Amino acid sequence: MSEVITFTSGKGGVGKTTTTANVGVGLSLLEKKVILIDTDIGLRNLDVVMGLENRIVYNLVDVLTGKCRVKQAVIRDRRYPNLSVIPSACVREHPPITIEAMQTLMEELKESYDYILVDSPAGIDSGFDLAVCAADKVVVVTTPQVAAVHDADCVLRLLRRKKDISTYLLINSFRKQLVKEGNMLQISDICELLNTELLGVVLEDEHIIISQNHGESMMGKKGTSQTCYENICRRLVGEAVPIPDFLQEKHRFRGFFWNKPAKQTINS
């Protein structure tokens, strides 16, 4: 059963593209056939983050406007045999692309791939509509900062109106020290405010910047975020991986399961 999963956020800069890239690589390493789609038309960055910027011939706009066949725009990542990418375009004007064309593309891709991960642009306008139009699951990425949480709530409210979409929350850039000092929202605070099932938490990790400088993912590398992404991938394929209580000093986790409502299990 193929799945279209869109990563969106409302607020820009919270880590949608980084998440899409790393989860994509992670799923491909679990022997799933994965394709990533960059729907940020105008400011393409998925290919940049993945070090594929020199391999672009055709892009998503070319596919959706019928300028090329789908296969011509697909870039196969040579480092990861199960992973492909369709990059976006760097255009200023609004190209004449339709929701219908996007839905048709997603249906076609479902025949060849297990997971289609869509990297949404920031905001809640037409770019967002395009990114979620064919989604089975939408993951709302937020950080523990007030503006990001507020924007995530706006996005979640819009998504609640759509039928047949399961929504999940992903908390990015979690900083244990700030939380311990009482200067950053805790996981339970965010879950309570946004009242959405939690997919995972990614720790703040400067190694992400370093790996992106090289155009590489975090998977298989040193860094606190690596395990977080791995766990997220495992949860997406159906494994029950508890979310660790990061504030515990030792590695004895008083964890809780991600697929129960946060309100009931946070303090269990």
Partner 1 sequence: MREQSVTAAKERLKCMIHYENNILDEETMGYIRRDIGNVITKYVDVEPENIEIKVILKEYKKRELQCLNSTN
Residues forming contacts to partner 1 in the complex (CB under 8 A) are: 146, 149-150, 153-154, 157, 179, 181-186, 189, 193-194
Give the nearest distance from C-beta 129 to partner 1 in angstroms.
17
Give the nearest distance from C-beta 152 to partner 1 in angstroms.
10
Contact 14, 148 (CB under 8 A): yes
Judging by beta carbons within 10 Å of its beta carbon (0-12, 13-18, 19+), is residue 33 exposed, middle or buried? middle
Give the nearest distance from C-beta 190 to partner 1 in angstroms.
9
Give the nearest distance from C-beta 185 to partner 1 in angstroms.
6
Q: Toward partner 1, which CB reaches closer, 11 or 110?
A: 11
Contact 35, 146 (CB under 8 A): no
Residue 19 annotated as binding site: no
Q: Toward partner 1, which CB reaches closer, 129 or 153?
A: 153
Residue 11 annotated as binding site: yes
A 10 A CB-CB count for 264 gives 9
- Residue 238 in 3-state DSSP? coil
Give the nearest distance from C-beta 250 to partner 1 in angstroms.
24
Residue 71 annotated as binding site: no
Give the nearest distance from C-beta 192 to partner 1 in angstroms.
9
User: In this structure, what token pair is assigned to residue 40?
Assistant: 């940020």
Q: Toward partner 1, which CB reaches closer, 104 or 145?
A: 145
Residue 263 annotated as binding site: no
Contact 215, 48 (CB under 8 A): yes
Which residues touch 251 (CB under 8 Å, ≥6 apart)? none
Residue 18 annotated as binding site: yes
Residue 104 annotated as binding site: no
- 103-112 CB contacts, 8 Å cutoff, 24+ apart: 103/133, 103/134, 105/63, 105/64, 105/70, 106/4, 106/133, 106/134, 107/134, 108/70, 109/2, 109/35, 109/70, 110/2, 110/4, 111/2, 112/33, 112/35
Q: Toward partner 1, which CB reaches closer, 4 or 194?
A: 194
In sequence order, the β-bridge partners of residue 142 are 171
Q: Toward partner 1, which CB reaches closer, 69 or 160?
A: 160
- Residue 256 in 3-state DSSP? strand
Minimal CA–CA distance to 247: which of 203, 206, 207? 203
Q: Toward partner 1, which CB reaches closer, 194 or 203?
A: 194
To 10 degrees, the CA torsion angle through 95, 96, 102, 103? 160
Residue numbers in the known binding site for ATP are 11-18
